[in-house]
Structure 1
Protein backbone atom coordinates (compact mmCIF):
# COMPACT_ATOMS: atom_id res chain seq x y z
CA UNK A 1 0.00 0.00 0.00
CA UNK A 2 1.40 3.38 -1.00
CA UNK A 3 1.91 5.79 1.86
CA UNK A 4 2.89 9.41 2.38
CA UNK A 5 6.72 9.76 2.37
CA UNK A 6 8.28 9.93 5.83
CA UNK A 7 11.51 11.91 5.90
CA UNK A 8 14.48 11.12 8.14
CA UNK A 9 17.04 13.59 9.51
CA UNK A 10 19.89 11.82 7.72
CA UNK A 11 18.34 12.69 4.36
CA UNK A 12 19.07 16.38 4.84
CA UNK A 13 22.72 16.86 5.75
CA UNK A 14 25.64 14.48 5.34
CA UNK A 15 28.60 16.78 5.93
CA UNK A 16 27.83 17.42 9.59
CA UNK A 17 28.27 14.31 11.80
CA UNK A 18 25.01 14.45 13.77
CA UNK A 19 22.30 11.92 12.96
CA UNK A 20 19.81 13.11 15.60
CA UNK A 21 19.85 16.84 14.88
CA UNK A 22 19.77 19.12 11.84
CA UNK A 23 19.75 22.90 11.38
CA UNK A 24 19.85 25.33 8.48
CA UNK A 25 18.83 28.80 7.44
CA UNK A 26 15.41 28.44 5.88
CA UNK A 27 16.27 29.75 2.42
CA UNK A 28 19.16 27.28 2.00
CA UNK A 29 17.10 24.42 3.41
CA UNK A 30 14.24 24.96 0.96
CA UNK A 31 16.58 25.32 -2.02
CA UNK A 32 18.63 22.21 -1.21
CA UNK A 33 15.62 20.02 -0.48
CA UNK A 34 13.05 21.38 -2.92
CA UNK A 35 12.41 17.92 -4.34
CA UNK A 36 10.98 16.66 -1.06
CA UNK A 37 9.89 19.57 1.13
CA UNK A 38 7.47 21.19 -1.33
CA UNK A 39 5.32 18.07 -1.52
CA UNK A 40 3.15 16.67 1.30
CA UNK A 41 5.30 14.58 3.63
CA UNK A 42 5.76 13.66 7.26
CA UNK A 43 8.79 13.31 9.54
CA UNK A 44 10.00 10.89 12.17
CA UNK A 45 11.41 13.78 14.24
CA UNK A 46 10.39 17.05 15.93
CA UNK A 47 10.58 20.21 13.82
CA UNK A 48 10.68 23.89 14.69
CA UNK A 49 10.83 26.71 12.14
CA UNK A 50 11.01 30.49 12.60
CA UNK A 51 10.16 32.92 9.78
CA UNK A 52 12.00 36.23 9.82
CA UNK A 53 10.54 37.11 6.42
CA UNK A 54 8.04 35.68 3.95
CA UNK A 55 4.37 35.09 3.21
CA UNK A 56 2.34 32.09 2.25
CA UNK A 57 0.46 29.12 3.63
CA UNK A 58 1.67 26.23 5.77
CA UNK A 59 -0.72 23.28 5.66
CA UNK A 60 -0.46 20.87 8.59
CA UNK A 61 -2.77 17.86 8.74
CA UNK A 62 -5.37 19.57 6.51
CA UNK A 63 -5.41 22.80 8.51
CA UNK A 64 -4.02 25.90 6.81
CA UNK A 65 -1.95 28.46 8.72
CA UNK A 66 -0.81 31.83 7.41
CA UNK A 67 2.93 32.36 7.09
CA UNK A 68 4.24 35.85 7.82
CA UNK A 69 7.17 37.55 9.51
CA UNK A 70 7.31 36.22 13.07
CA UNK A 71 5.54 32.92 12.33
CA UNK A 72 6.78 29.92 14.30
CA UNK A 73 5.67 26.33 13.66
CA UNK A 74 6.12 23.18 15.73
CA UNK A 75 5.63 19.69 14.30
CA UNK A 76 5.59 16.37 16.09
CA UNK A 77 6.59 13.07 14.44
CA UNK A 78 3.95 11.77 12.05
CA UNK A 79 2.27 15.05 11.17
CA UNK A 80 1.86 15.71 7.44
CA UNK A 81 2.64 19.13 6.04
CA UNK A 82 3.75 21.19 3.05
CA UNK A 83 4.38 24.83 2.16
CA UNK A 84 3.05 27.32 -0.41
CA UNK A 85 4.95 30.61 -0.49
CA UNK A 86 4.04 33.83 -2.30
CA UNK A 87 7.57 35.19 -1.94
CA UNK A 88 10.94 33.81 -0.89
CA UNK A 89 10.97 33.20 2.88
CA UNK A 90 13.85 33.68 5.30
CA UNK A 91 14.42 32.32 8.78
CA UNK A 92 15.72 29.21 10.50
CA UNK A 93 14.69 25.59 10.79
CA UNK A 94 15.88 22.74 12.98
CA UNK A 95 14.92 19.11 13.55
CA UNK A 96 15.77 16.75 16.36
CA UNK A 97 14.81 13.36 17.73
CA UNK A 98 13.13 12.96 21.09
CA UNK A 99 16.27 11.37 22.52
CA UNK A 100 18.48 14.26 21.43
CA UNK A 101 16.59 16.60 23.72
CA UNK A 102 15.63 14.28 26.57
CA UNK A 103 19.04 12.66 27.00
CA UNK A 104 20.48 16.08 27.78
CA UNK A 105 17.61 17.02 30.13
CA UNK A 106 16.81 13.83 32.00
CA UNK A 107 14.17 15.49 34.17
CA UNK A 108 12.46 17.27 31.25
CA UNK A 109 10.17 15.92 28.54
CA UNK A 110 9.25 17.54 25.24
CA UNK A 111 5.58 17.14 26.18
CA UNK A 112 6.05 19.71 28.95
CA UNK A 113 5.96 22.41 26.27
CA UNK A 114 2.38 23.31 25.27
CA UNK A 115 3.06 23.14 21.52
CA UNK A 116 4.21 19.51 21.90
CA UNK A 117 1.80 18.60 24.71
CA UNK A 118 -1.11 17.41 22.59
CA UNK A 119 -2.07 17.10 18.93
CA UNK A 120 -5.11 19.17 19.89
CA UNK A 121 -2.98 22.24 20.63
CA UNK A 122 -2.27 24.46 17.64
CA UNK A 123 1.16 23.96 16.01
CA UNK A 124 1.61 27.65 15.22
CA UNK A 125 2.54 30.88 16.96
CA UNK A 126 3.03 34.42 15.71
CA UNK A 127 5.41 36.71 17.60
CA UNK A 128 5.85 40.46 17.36
CA UNK A 129 8.87 42.34 16.07
CA UNK A 130 10.45 42.82 19.51
CA UNK A 131 10.18 39.13 20.43
CA UNK A 132 11.44 38.15 16.99
CA UNK A 133 14.52 40.30 17.54
CA UNK A 134 15.15 38.42 20.80
CA UNK A 135 14.56 34.92 19.42
CA UNK A 136 16.23 35.13 16.01
CA UNK A 137 19.77 35.35 17.52
CA UNK A 138 19.12 32.11 19.46
CA UNK A 139 18.15 30.33 16.24
CA UNK A 140 21.19 31.81 14.53
CA UNK A 141 23.41 30.59 17.38
CA UNK A 142 21.91 27.08 17.05
CA UNK A 143 22.65 27.10 13.33
CA UNK A 144 26.20 28.38 13.75
CA UNK A 145 26.92 25.80 16.44
CA UNK A 146 25.64 23.04 14.19
CA UNK A 147 28.09 23.88 11.41
CA UNK A 148 31.05 24.59 13.71
CA UNK A 149 33.16 21.72 14.99
CA UNK A 150 33.76 22.76 18.58
CA UNK A 151 33.95 20.81 21.86
CA UNK A 152 30.64 20.18 23.67
CA UNK A 153 28.75 20.76 20.44
CA UNK A 154 25.70 18.65 21.29
CA UNK A 155 25.49 20.05 24.81
CA UNK A 156 25.57 23.63 23.49
CA UNK A 157 22.91 22.96 20.86
CA UNK A 158 20.64 21.20 23.36
CA UNK A 159 21.03 24.08 25.79
CA UNK A 160 20.14 26.66 23.13
CA UNK A 161 17.09 24.64 22.03
CA UNK A 162 15.97 24.40 25.66
CA UNK A 163 16.24 28.19 26.00
CA UNK A 164 14.31 28.75 22.75
CA UNK A 165 11.55 26.35 23.77
CA UNK A 166 11.16 28.00 27.18
CA UNK A 167 10.87 31.46 25.60
CA UNK A 168 8.42 30.17 22.99
CA UNK A 169 6.35 28.31 25.58
CA UNK A 170 5.95 31.52 27.60
CA UNK A 171 4.69 33.36 24.52
CA UNK A 172 2.52 30.43 23.45
CA UNK A 173 0.68 30.18 26.76
CA UNK A 174 -0.05 33.91 26.68
CA UNK A 175 -1.35 33.98 23.10
CA UNK A 176 -2.78 30.56 22.35
CA UNK A 177 -5.61 28.60 23.99
CA UNK A 178 -4.08 25.32 25.14
CA UNK A 179 -5.22 22.01 26.47
CA UNK A 180 -4.62 22.26 30.21
CA UNK A 181 -5.88 20.77 33.42
CA UNK A 182 -4.91 21.28 37.03
CA UNK A 183 -4.45 17.54 37.56
CA UNK A 184 -0.96 16.23 36.79
CA UNK A 185 -2.40 12.70 36.81
CA UNK A 186 -4.90 13.68 34.12
CA UNK A 187 -2.13 15.19 32.00
CA UNK A 188 -0.02 12.05 32.20
CA UNK A 189 -2.99 9.82 31.41
CA UNK A 190 -3.91 11.90 28.36
CA UNK A 191 -0.34 11.69 27.07
CA UNK A 192 -0.36 7.93 27.58
CA UNK A 193 -3.71 7.64 25.80
CA UNK A 194 -2.51 9.58 22.76
CA UNK A 195 0.51 7.29 22.51
CA UNK A 196 -1.67 4.19 22.77
CA UNK A 197 -4.06 5.51 20.13
CA UNK A 198 -1.14 6.24 17.82
CA UNK A 199 0.06 2.64 18.17
CA UNK A 200 -3.30 0.90 17.89
CA UNK A 201 -5.92 3.05 16.14
CA UNK A 202 -5.89 0.95 12.96
CA UNK A 203 -6.92 -2.21 14.77
CA UNK A 204 -8.52 -1.09 18.04
CA UNK A 205 -11.34 1.43 18.14
CA UNK A 206 -13.11 0.74 21.43
CA UNK A 207 -12.67 2.98 24.47
CA UNK A 208 -12.57 -0.12 26.65
CA UNK A 209 -9.41 -1.38 24.93
CA UNK A 210 -7.53 1.82 25.74
CA UNK A 211 -8.86 1.93 29.28
CA UNK A 212 -7.57 -1.61 29.80
CA UNK A 213 -4.17 -0.63 28.38
CA UNK A 214 -3.98 2.23 30.88
CA UNK A 215 -5.28 0.10 33.76
CA UNK A 216 -8.26 2.34 34.51
CA UNK A 217 -11.99 2.07 33.91
CA UNK A 218 -13.50 3.25 30.64
CA UNK A 219 -15.71 5.64 32.62
CA UNK A 220 -12.72 7.27 34.32
CA UNK A 221 -10.82 7.53 31.04
CA UNK A 222 -13.81 9.24 29.47
CA UNK A 223 -13.93 11.65 32.42
CA UNK A 224 -10.27 12.54 31.86
CA UNK A 225 -10.81 13.15 28.13
CA UNK A 226 -13.81 15.36 28.80
CA UNK A 227 -11.96 17.35 31.48
CA UNK A 228 -8.82 17.93 29.41
CA UNK A 229 -10.08 18.12 25.83
CA UNK A 230 -13.85 18.40 26.08
CA UNK A 231 -14.24 15.22 24.02
CA UNK A 232 -15.00 11.57 24.70
CA UNK A 233 -12.44 8.80 24.36
CA UNK A 234 -14.31 7.46 21.34
CA UNK A 235 -14.19 10.88 19.67
CA UNK A 236 -10.41 11.02 20.06
CA UNK A 237 -10.02 7.56 18.54
CA UNK A 238 -12.34 8.40 15.65
CA UNK A 239 -10.58 11.72 14.98
CA UNK A 240 -7.25 9.91 14.64
CA UNK A 241 -8.76 7.40 12.22
CA UNK A 242 -10.37 10.15 10.13
CA UNK A 243 -7.11 12.15 10.02
CA UNK A 244 -5.24 9.15 8.64
CA UNK A 245 -8.11 8.59 6.19
CA UNK A 246 -7.69 12.15 4.89
CA UNK A 247 -3.93 11.71 4.51
CA UNK A 248 -4.35 8.53 2.48
CA UNK A 249 -7.27 9.83 0.41
CA UNK A 250 -5.39 12.94 -0.68
CA UNK A 251 -1.74 11.93 -0.68
CA UNK A 252 -1.88 8.36 -1.98
CA UNK A 253 -3.31 6.60 -5.03
CA UNK A 254 -4.89 3.80 -3.04
CA UNK A 255 -8.49 2.78 -3.68
CA UNK A 256 -11.25 3.64 -1.24
CA UNK A 257 -11.68 0.01 -0.29
CA UNK A 258 -7.95 -0.53 0.35
CA UNK A 259 -7.82 2.58 2.54
CA UNK A 260 -10.84 1.34 4.46
CA UNK A 261 -9.24 -2.07 4.93
CA UNK A 262 -5.89 -0.58 5.94
CA UNK A 263 -7.63 1.35 8.71
CA UNK A 264 -9.28 -1.76 10.09
CA UNK A 265 -12.75 -1.52 8.51
CA UNK A 266 -14.03 -4.72 6.94
CA UNK A 267 -17.08 -2.90 5.58
CA UNK A 268 -16.42 0.12 3.34
CA UNK A 269 -19.98 1.37 3.87
CA UNK A 270 -19.40 1.62 7.61
CA UNK A 271 -16.05 3.36 7.07
CA UNK A 272 -17.78 5.88 4.80
CA UNK A 273 -20.47 6.47 7.43
CA UNK A 274 -17.88 7.13 10.15
CA UNK A 275 -15.92 9.46 7.85
CA UNK A 276 -19.03 11.42 6.86
CA UNK A 277 -20.12 11.79 10.49
CA UNK A 278 -16.93 13.77 11.13
CA UNK A 279 -16.43 15.63 7.86
CA UNK A 280 -19.99 15.95 6.44
CA UNK A 281 -18.58 14.41 3.23
CA UNK A 282 -18.13 10.89 1.94
CA UNK A 283 -14.50 9.82 1.38
CA UNK A 284 -14.90 10.29 -2.37
CA UNK A 285 -16.49 13.71 -1.96
CA UNK A 286 -13.66 14.78 0.32
CA UNK A 287 -11.00 13.59 -2.12
CA UNK A 288 -12.64 15.48 -5.00
CA UNK A 289 -13.20 18.65 -2.96
CA UNK A 290 -9.62 18.72 -1.77
CA UNK A 291 -8.24 18.26 -5.27
Structure 2
Protein backbone atom coordinates (compact mmCIF):
# COMPACT_ATOMS: atom_id res chain seq x y z
CA UNK A 1 0.00 0.00 0.00
CA UNK A 2 1.36 3.43 -0.94
CA UNK A 3 1.22 6.12 1.76
CA UNK A 4 -0.59 8.43 -0.70
CA UNK A 5 -3.71 6.22 -0.47
CA UNK A 6 -4.59 7.73 2.92
CA UNK A 7 -4.67 11.48 3.29
CA UNK A 8 -2.59 13.44 5.78
CA UNK A 9 -4.36 16.73 6.55
CA UNK A 10 -2.16 19.83 6.63
CA UNK A 11 -2.89 22.92 8.67
CA UNK A 12 -4.27 25.72 6.46
CA UNK A 13 -3.75 29.32 7.49
CA UNK A 14 -7.12 31.07 7.97
CA UNK A 15 -7.58 33.71 5.25
CA UNK A 16 -7.87 36.62 7.65
CA UNK A 17 -5.20 35.40 10.09
CA UNK A 18 -1.46 34.89 9.88
CA UNK A 19 -1.05 32.57 12.85
CA UNK A 20 -0.90 28.78 13.06
CA UNK A 21 -3.96 28.69 15.28
CA UNK A 22 -7.67 28.62 14.49
CA UNK A 23 -11.03 28.35 16.24
CA UNK A 24 -13.92 27.05 14.11
CA UNK A 25 -17.59 27.16 15.08
CA UNK A 26 -19.33 23.81 14.52
CA UNK A 27 -22.71 25.50 14.08
CA UNK A 28 -21.28 27.40 11.11
CA UNK A 29 -18.82 24.91 9.67
CA UNK A 30 -17.72 26.33 6.32
CA UNK A 31 -15.33 23.62 5.14
CA UNK A 32 -15.39 19.99 4.10
CA UNK A 33 -13.75 17.58 6.53
CA UNK A 34 -12.89 14.24 4.89
CA UNK A 35 -15.18 11.51 6.28
CA UNK A 36 -12.61 8.85 5.37
CA UNK A 37 -9.70 7.86 7.58
CA UNK A 38 -6.92 10.44 7.64
CA UNK A 39 -4.02 11.67 9.73
CA UNK A 40 -3.28 15.13 11.17
CA UNK A 41 -0.08 17.14 11.05
CA UNK A 42 -1.58 19.46 13.68
CA UNK A 43 -3.37 19.27 17.03
CA UNK A 44 -7.16 19.40 17.32
CA UNK A 45 -9.44 19.96 20.32
CA UNK A 46 -13.18 19.39 19.81
CA UNK A 47 -15.52 21.10 22.28
CA UNK A 48 -19.19 20.02 22.15
CA UNK A 49 -21.80 22.26 23.79
CA UNK A 50 -24.89 20.73 22.15
CA UNK A 51 -25.58 17.58 20.14
CA UNK A 52 -23.59 14.38 19.65
CA UNK A 53 -20.98 13.28 17.13
CA UNK A 54 -19.25 9.98 16.42
CA UNK A 55 -15.49 10.28 16.01
CA UNK A 56 -12.76 7.65 15.71
CA UNK A 57 -9.29 8.49 17.03
CA UNK A 58 -6.46 5.98 16.82
CA UNK A 59 -8.95 3.14 16.23
CA UNK A 60 -11.09 3.98 19.27
CA UNK A 61 -14.70 5.08 18.73
CA UNK A 62 -16.01 8.01 20.77
CA UNK A 63 -19.59 9.29 20.91
CA UNK A 64 -18.87 12.86 21.93
CA UNK A 65 -21.76 14.78 23.47
CA UNK A 66 -22.34 18.04 25.32
CA UNK A 67 -19.98 18.93 28.17
CA UNK A 68 -17.27 16.78 26.59
CA UNK A 69 -13.93 17.55 24.98
CA UNK A 70 -12.20 15.30 22.45
CA UNK A 71 -8.43 15.58 22.10
CA UNK A 72 -6.87 14.63 18.75
CA UNK A 73 -3.07 14.90 19.11
CA UNK A 74 -0.74 15.56 16.20
CA UNK A 75 -0.04 12.34 14.30
CA UNK A 76 -3.29 10.68 15.34
CA UNK A 77 -5.41 8.65 12.97
CA UNK A 78 -8.85 10.25 12.75
CA UNK A 79 -12.17 9.52 11.10
CA UNK A 80 -15.24 11.71 11.50
CA UNK A 81 -16.83 14.50 9.44
CA UNK A 82 -18.98 16.49 11.92
CA UNK A 83 -22.03 16.15 9.67
CA UNK A 84 -24.38 16.00 12.66
CA UNK A 85 -26.30 19.04 13.91
CA UNK A 86 -23.86 20.32 16.49
CA UNK A 87 -22.96 23.31 18.56
CA UNK A 88 -19.44 23.77 19.79
CA UNK A 89 -15.98 24.55 18.50
CA UNK A 90 -12.87 23.02 17.00
CA UNK A 91 -9.50 24.41 18.07
CA UNK A 92 -6.64 23.75 15.65
CA UNK A 93 -3.00 24.61 16.17
CA UNK A 94 0.52 23.54 15.27
CA UNK A 95 3.56 23.44 17.59
CA UNK A 96 4.94 26.46 15.71
CA UNK A 97 2.12 28.63 17.09
CA UNK A 98 3.83 28.50 20.48
CA UNK A 99 7.26 29.62 21.60
CA UNK A 100 9.82 26.86 22.16
CA UNK A 101 9.41 27.11 25.94
CA UNK A 102 5.61 26.98 25.67
CA UNK A 103 5.83 24.05 23.25
CA UNK A 104 8.11 22.15 25.64
CA UNK A 105 5.56 22.72 28.42
CA UNK A 106 2.67 21.56 26.26
CA UNK A 107 4.58 18.42 25.25
CA UNK A 108 4.38 17.25 28.86
CA UNK A 109 0.60 17.67 29.11
CA UNK A 110 -1.14 14.33 29.53
CA UNK A 111 -3.92 15.29 27.08
CA UNK A 112 -1.41 15.26 24.20
CA UNK A 113 0.55 12.16 25.27
CA UNK A 114 -0.20 9.25 22.92
CA UNK A 115 1.16 6.77 25.47
CA UNK A 116 -1.73 7.60 27.81
CA UNK A 117 -4.19 7.21 24.93
CA UNK A 118 -7.16 8.82 26.69
CA UNK A 119 -8.79 11.21 24.26
CA UNK A 120 -12.23 11.97 25.71
CA UNK A 121 -12.81 14.16 28.76
CA UNK A 122 -16.25 14.42 30.41
CA UNK A 123 -17.20 17.22 32.81
CA UNK A 124 -19.95 17.81 35.35
CA UNK A 125 -21.83 21.13 35.35
CA UNK A 126 -19.47 22.91 37.73
CA UNK A 127 -16.35 21.71 35.93
CA UNK A 128 -17.83 22.58 32.54
CA UNK A 129 -18.62 26.14 33.60
CA UNK A 130 -15.05 26.44 34.85
CA UNK A 131 -13.63 25.19 31.53
CA UNK A 132 -15.93 27.46 29.49
CA UNK A 133 -14.75 30.53 31.41
CA UNK A 134 -11.23 29.93 30.15
CA UNK A 135 -12.39 29.07 26.63
CA UNK A 136 -14.64 32.15 26.39
CA UNK A 137 -11.67 34.43 27.07
CA UNK A 138 -9.63 32.60 24.41
CA UNK A 139 -12.47 32.73 21.89
CA UNK A 140 -13.13 36.43 22.52
CA UNK A 141 -9.47 37.30 21.95
CA UNK A 142 -9.24 35.16 18.80
CA UNK A 143 -12.26 36.71 17.07
CA UNK A 144 -11.14 40.27 17.70
CA UNK A 145 -9.90 41.89 14.50
CA UNK A 146 -6.66 42.96 16.13
CA UNK A 147 -5.93 40.01 18.36
CA UNK A 148 -2.55 39.81 20.06
CA UNK A 149 -0.54 36.65 19.31
CA UNK A 150 1.16 36.62 22.71
CA UNK A 151 -2.17 37.07 24.50
CA UNK A 152 -3.64 34.23 22.43
CA UNK A 153 -0.74 31.98 23.39
CA UNK A 154 -1.14 32.63 27.11
CA UNK A 155 -4.93 32.25 27.01
CA UNK A 156 -4.61 29.02 25.04
CA UNK A 157 -2.07 27.61 27.51
CA UNK A 158 -4.38 28.55 30.39
CA UNK A 159 -7.28 26.75 28.67
CA UNK A 160 -5.14 23.69 27.86
CA UNK A 161 -3.84 23.60 31.43
CA UNK A 162 -7.38 23.71 32.78
CA UNK A 163 -8.63 20.76 30.71
CA UNK A 164 -5.39 18.86 31.38
CA UNK A 165 -6.19 19.13 35.11
CA UNK A 166 -9.23 16.93 34.47
CA UNK A 167 -7.33 14.07 32.85
CA UNK A 168 -8.15 10.88 34.80
CA UNK A 169 -4.52 10.47 35.81
CA UNK A 170 -4.57 13.93 37.36
CA UNK A 171 -8.10 13.92 38.69
CA UNK A 172 -8.26 10.60 40.50
CA UNK A 173 -4.70 9.96 41.63
CA UNK A 174 -3.45 10.88 45.04
CA UNK A 175 -1.03 13.79 44.99
CA UNK A 176 2.03 11.70 45.88
CA UNK A 177 1.35 9.32 42.96
CA UNK A 178 1.15 11.96 40.23
CA UNK A 179 4.85 12.80 39.70
CA UNK A 180 5.88 9.17 39.19
CA UNK A 181 2.99 8.48 36.80
CA UNK A 182 3.64 11.62 34.77
CA UNK A 183 7.35 10.83 34.58
CA UNK A 184 6.61 7.26 33.45
CA UNK A 185 4.37 8.36 30.59
CA UNK A 186 6.87 11.02 29.53
CA UNK A 187 9.59 8.36 29.52
CA UNK A 188 7.41 5.92 27.62
CA UNK A 189 6.55 8.45 24.92
CA UNK A 190 10.24 9.26 24.51
CA UNK A 191 11.73 5.74 24.65
CA UNK A 192 9.04 3.24 23.61
CA UNK A 193 10.71 2.49 20.29
CA UNK A 194 13.98 1.41 21.87
CA UNK A 195 13.17 0.37 25.43
CA UNK A 196 10.68 -2.48 25.82
CA UNK A 197 11.70 -3.75 29.27
CA UNK A 198 9.93 -2.82 32.49
CA UNK A 199 13.27 -2.58 34.33
CA UNK A 200 14.39 0.36 32.20
CA UNK A 201 11.46 2.52 33.32
CA UNK A 202 11.62 1.36 36.93
CA UNK A 203 15.33 2.18 37.12
CA UNK A 204 14.73 5.65 35.68
CA UNK A 205 12.07 6.23 38.32
CA UNK A 206 14.33 4.74 41.03
CA UNK A 207 11.66 2.28 42.15
CA UNK A 208 11.30 -1.48 41.79
CA UNK A 209 9.52 -3.02 38.81
CA UNK A 210 6.93 -4.44 41.20
CA UNK A 211 6.08 -1.05 42.67
CA UNK A 212 5.90 0.54 39.22
CA UNK A 213 3.57 -2.15 37.92
CA UNK A 214 1.37 -1.94 41.01
CA UNK A 215 1.16 1.85 40.78
CA UNK A 216 0.28 1.76 37.09
CA UNK A 217 -2.29 -0.96 37.59
CA UNK A 218 -3.98 0.99 40.39
CA UNK A 219 -4.13 4.08 38.17
CA UNK A 220 -4.98 2.55 34.78
CA UNK A 221 -6.03 -1.07 35.31
CA UNK A 222 -3.07 -2.13 33.16
CA UNK A 223 0.42 -3.32 34.04
CA UNK A 224 3.66 -1.78 32.78
CA UNK A 225 4.24 -4.28 29.99
CA UNK A 226 0.70 -3.84 28.69
CA UNK A 227 1.19 -0.07 28.45
CA UNK A 228 4.54 -0.47 26.68
CA UNK A 229 3.04 -2.92 24.19
CA UNK A 230 -0.04 -0.75 23.60
CA UNK A 231 2.14 2.20 22.62
CA UNK A 232 4.22 0.00 20.30
CA UNK A 233 1.13 -1.45 18.65
CA UNK A 234 -0.44 1.98 18.17
CA UNK A 235 2.67 3.24 16.41
CA UNK A 236 2.83 0.08 14.32
CA UNK A 237 -0.78 0.59 13.21
CA UNK A 238 -0.03 4.18 12.22
CA UNK A 239 3.03 3.16 10.22
CA UNK A 240 1.26 0.28 8.52
CA UNK A 241 -1.46 2.60 7.24
CA UNK A 242 0.46 5.78 6.55
CA UNK A 243 3.81 4.69 5.21
CA UNK A 244 5.10 2.52 2.40
CA UNK A 245 7.62 0.86 4.72
CA UNK A 246 7.84 -2.91 4.78
CA UNK A 247 6.82 -4.83 7.87
CA UNK A 248 10.48 -5.64 8.44
CA UNK A 249 11.38 -1.93 8.35
CA UNK A 250 8.56 -1.01 10.76
CA UNK A 251 9.58 -3.79 13.14
CA UNK A 252 13.20 -2.60 13.10
CA UNK A 253 12.23 1.05 13.70
CA UNK A 254 10.18 -0.06 16.70
CA UNK A 255 13.15 -1.88 18.21
CA UNK A 256 12.45 -5.44 17.07
CA UNK A 257 15.35 -7.26 15.47
CA UNK A 258 13.13 -10.30 14.94
CA UNK A 259 10.27 -9.57 12.51
CA UNK A 260 8.53 -12.81 13.47
CA UNK A 261 8.41 -11.81 17.15
CA UNK A 262 7.01 -8.41 16.17
CA UNK A 263 4.33 -10.03 14.02
CA UNK A 264 3.34 -12.40 16.83
CA UNK A 265 3.08 -9.52 19.31
CA UNK A 266 1.01 -7.49 16.84
CA UNK A 267 -1.40 -10.36 16.21
CA UNK A 268 -1.70 -11.11 19.93
CA UNK A 269 -2.79 -7.52 20.57
CA UNK A 270 -4.97 -6.94 17.49
CA UNK A 271 -6.05 -10.43 16.25
CA UNK A 272 -4.57 -9.42 12.86
CA UNK A 273 -1.19 -10.21 11.36
CA UNK A 274 0.43 -6.94 10.22
CA UNK A 275 -0.21 -7.63 6.53
CA UNK A 276 -3.84 -8.56 7.26
CA UNK A 277 -4.27 -5.32 9.21
CA UNK A 278 -2.98 -3.32 6.25
CA UNK A 279 -5.46 -4.96 3.89
CA UNK A 280 -8.37 -4.61 6.32
CA UNK A 281 -8.00 -0.89 7.03
CA UNK A 282 -6.36 0.48 3.88
TM over 0.5: yes
**C-alpha deviations, 1:237-259, integer Å up to 9, x for none?**
11100111112223334332222
Give the one of 178, 197, 221 matched to 1:230: 221
Give the one of 120, 123, 126 matched to 2:119: 123
Matches for 1:195-206 after TM superposition, within 5 Å = 195-206=186-197
Contact 1:24 1:143 (8 Å CA) reproduced = no
Indicate yes or no: 2:261 matched with 1:270: yes
Alignment CA distance shift 1:81-1:7 (3 Å): same
Contact 1:142 1:161 (8 Å CA) reproduced = no
Structure 2: which 5+ runs fail to align?
none
> Displacement of 1:132 after TM fit?
8.0
Matches for 1:237-276 after TM superposition, within 5 Å = 237-276=228-267
Match of 1:61 in 2: 58
Matches for 1:72-221 after TM superposition, within 5 Å = 72-87=69-84, 89-96=86-93, 97=95, 100=98, 120=116, 122-125=118-121, 139=135, 142-150=138-146, 154-155=150-151, 158-159=154-155, 162=158, 166=162, 180-184=172-176, 186-221=177-212
> Displacement of 1:271 after TM fit?
0.6
- State the alpha-carbon separation in 1 of the partners of residues 226 and 124 from structure 2: 36
Contact 1:75 1:123 (8 Å CA) reproduced = yes
> Displacement of 1:282 after TM fit?
2.0
Q: Which moved more, 1:21-30 or 1:219-228?
A: 21-30
Match of 2:275 in 1: 284
Structure 1: which 5+ runs fail to align?
none
Alignment CA distance shift 1:208-1:17 (3 Å): same
Alignment CA distance shift 1:30-1:60 (3 Å): farther
Contact 2:49 2:88 (8 Å CA) reproduced = yes
> Displacement of 1:270 after TM fit?
0.6
Alignment CA distance shift 1:228-1:138 (3 Å): closer
- Corresponding residue SS for 1:205: coil
Alignment CA distance shift 1:200-1:142 (3 Å): same
Alignment CA distance shift 1:95-1:102 (3 Å): farther
Alignment CA distance shift 1:5-1:205 (3 Å): farther
- Corresponding residue SS for 1:242: helix
Contact 1:25 1:143 (8 Å CA) reproduced = no
- Corresponding residue SS for 1:248: helix
Alignment CA distance shift 1:220-1:102 (3 Å): farther
- State the alpha-carbon separation in 2 of the partners of residues 101 and 88 from structure 1: 36
Calculate the TM-score normalised by the size of structure 2: 0.72
RMSD of equivalent CA atoms: 4.3
> Displacement of 1:152 after TM fit?
5.7
Alignment CA distance shift 1:30-1:208 (3 Å): farther
- Corresponding residue SS for 2:256: coil
